Amino acid sequence: MSGHVVASPEGFQLPDSQLRVIRWMIYLAFFALAIGILNGLGQALNYSRVDILQYFPGMRNYYQGLTVHGVVNAIVFTFAFANGFLSLTTSRALARPLRSSLLWASFGCMVVGFLLAAYAMGSGQASVLYTFYPPLQAHWTFYLGLALLVVSTWVIAAALGLGLRAWRKEHPGERIPLMAFISVATYAMWVLASLGIVVEVVGLLLPWSLGLIEHSDPLLSRTLFWYSGHPVVYFWLLPAYVSWYLMVPRHAGGNLFSDSLTRVVFLMFLALSIPTGFHHQYTDPGIGTGMKALHAVLTFGVFFPSLLTAFSVVYALEIGGRRRGGTGLISWFFKLDWRNPALVAQVLAMLTFTLGGITGLINASYNLNQIVHNTAWMPGHFHMTVGSAVTLSFMGIAYWLIPYLTRKELVGGGMALISSWLYTAGVLIMARGLISGGLDGMPRRTLVMEAPYEKPSWELAGMLTGLGGTLMFIGGVLFFTVLAATVLSGKKAKEPQDLPFTKTIQGPAETGWELRLDRFRYWIIATVILIVVAYGPFLVEYLPGNFTSPPYRFY
């Protein structure tokens, strides 16, 4: 394949010690997903009035189940996967191992954090949902566990930063390899983004749960939460984008269009992900309309890098389809290798994400948000984003990553294909149910079957939700079967493999303005300025806050 490299040298092999810790992180991620998917089945069936949660060991009620589902899927699974996967892409691209001690430290933080949060949730002392809004109060181990999970990502950020610095010393004046650049940009964004949730959890909620602070300030906590809570969705998404940009074109036999455009996209995510959190708080009293409008405008700004992504990835697929003999406007699409599970899972993830993105645009529209906010529409939106664009992509990545990390061949490729299709059909049917129900006023986060105000017209929506969720669950079971069979009984691969990454048609520029793209320092300063503009006025007006609410534990 001709083109420009995104990581060099060709065929470089990372040492086993590096692969071992990364393998454990990926195992941890999928272990969490397994729990989350099982729990998700219970959630979906609740909408169709089938209560199976009562049979789950340790699950006392709907809110406990929903908390476990959100925390293990949206926080443990995604963080562990990002930590492992982007450590791998960065160290491979720089052709140097990252510090093993840091990677193990991160893994340790994740395990301890997960156990602490699991204890709190499992013992019924943290049924506060994954947004843990005060005045709902959880046991202190829940907050400490979450804090440790965030610390695990900071440790990885340090490992990536140190790796990059050492590489730069050895390669003065060279462009950062694209695969390392976009991985590091993701972590740079997240380190800035996670500050809000850390201040909230460590500064406010942990002391409050320990009785050191008597009262909480719901609005201040929500604001700090969503300062991190919107950008976290891109921390979930960008590892999938790393794969869509750099690996999917390779599976499809195509090439990535442009090195510079890819860098620009990730820098846009760095700058624009954070100053948008108020789009989750359009209905919150106490925040000025002008500030909400500013966040709305910036939200439309952060839409653009995803539009650019759609262009780049579809073009890469098209090149692949045409190389395989495809012609015409659309028919190249059917010439793709529909027997490669790593490709199929991720193309289906992209197709679903188109709908996920469109529903996001509706959420972001200030006035339309009033109709869909806090309804079942919302889980409809986010299962087509994090629940499939991200999760199905990570599953697709697993189809080559697990063989790569274990040096074994994939077992059950056919089953992997069925899994991807079932999961996609499931998520689309479920989202159809949730979205139509939401438009009809069906609330989110409610045990609908016990709601006294239940409407007969929600019945179809609820049935579709339950049916779709069941199909997703079966897809998930097949996925885990493939994974377990590969790890336990896969044949030893004949020779060591390299990561499957593409080449770019337009390579990195050697002169001109594009060199400045690599100076992270300037982009981070620009990001901080935008954050100050977006959050400064509210904080100046609101601080020191109103700490007046006593704690509540309902469930």
By the criterion CB under 5 A, which residues form the site for Cu ion? 230
- Cα(491)–Cα(486) distance, integer angstroms: 8
Q: What backbone phi and psi angles, to 5 degrees, belong to 4?
A: -105, 140
Q: How would DSSP label each residue in 406-421?
A: HTB--S-HHHHHHHHH
Q: Indicate whether 308 belongs to the interface with ligand HAS (CB under 6 A).
A: no
381 catalytic? Reply is yes
Helix (H) or strand (E) run with residue 257 in it: strand 256-258
Least Å distance, CB 375 to ligand HAS, is 9
Closest alpha carbon to 437 in 378, 382, 363: 378
Catalytic-role residue among 23, 69, 230, 432: 230
Cα 167 to Cα 171, 192, 392, 502: the distances in Å are: 6, 23, 33, 22
Q: Which of residues 373-402 bind ligand HAS (CB under 6 A)?
A: 373, 378, 381-382, 385-386, 390
Q: Which is nearer to ligand HAS, 5 or 82 (CB)?
A: 82
- Shorter beta-carbon distance to ligand HAS: residue 327 or 354: 354
Annotation says 453 is catalytic: no
- Is residue 69 part of the annotated active site? The answer reads no
Residue 292 near ligand HAS by CB under 6 A = no
Q: Which residues contact 430 (CB under 8 A, 6 or more apart)?
A: 44, 380, 383, 464, 465, 467, 468, 469, 471, 472
Residue spans of alpha helices (H) in 373-457 = 377-383, 391-406, 413-439
Is residue 427 close enough to count as binding ligand HAS by CB under 6 A? no
Say whether 382 is catalytic: yes
SS3 93: helix
**Residues counted in the chain:** 555
Q: Which does 307 bind (CB under 5 to 8 A by kind): Cu ion, ligand HAS, none?
A: ligand HAS
Nearer to ligand HAS, 23 or 279 (CB): 279
Binding-site member from 237, 252, 397, 416 for ligand HAS (CB under 6 A)? 237
Nearer to ligand HAS, 144 or 364 (CB): 364
Q: Exactly one of 364, 434, 461, 464 binds ligand HAS (CB under 6 A); which one?
A: 364
- Strands 256-258 and 504-506 come out as parallel
Q: List the single partner that 425 binds among Cu ion, ligand HAS, none, CB under 5 to 8 Å by kind.
A: none
Q: How far is the CB of 474 from ligand HAS (least distance, A)?
A: 23
Structure tokens at 139: 């046991």
Q: Which of 143, 181, 234, 353 is catalytic?
A: 234
Q: Which residue number places its CB atom closest to Cu ion?
A: 230
Q: Is 383 a known active-site residue?
A: yes
Is-catalytic flag, 444?
A: yes
CB 434 within 8 A of CB 379: yes
Q: Kindly list the distances between the CA atom of residue 37 and the CA atoms of 227, 293, 397, 481, in Å, as whole numbers in the listed order.
A: 27, 36, 18, 14
Dist. CA 291–CA 302, nearest whole Å: 17
Among the listed ranges 168-176, 356-364, 447-455, 480-488, the one in contact with ligand HAS (CB under 6 A) is: 356-364
CB atoms within 10 A of CB 413: 15
CB of 388: closest distance to ligand HAS in angstroms? 9
CB of 199 to ligand HAS, least distance (A): 20
Q: Which residues are part of the catalytic machinery?
A: 230, 234, 381-383, 444-445
Query: Which residues bind to ligand HAS, rule: CB under 6 A?
Result: 131, 233, 236-237, 279-280, 299, 302-303, 306-307, 309-310, 313-314, 333, 350-351, 353-354, 357, 360-361, 363-364, 369, 373, 378, 381-382, 385-386, 390
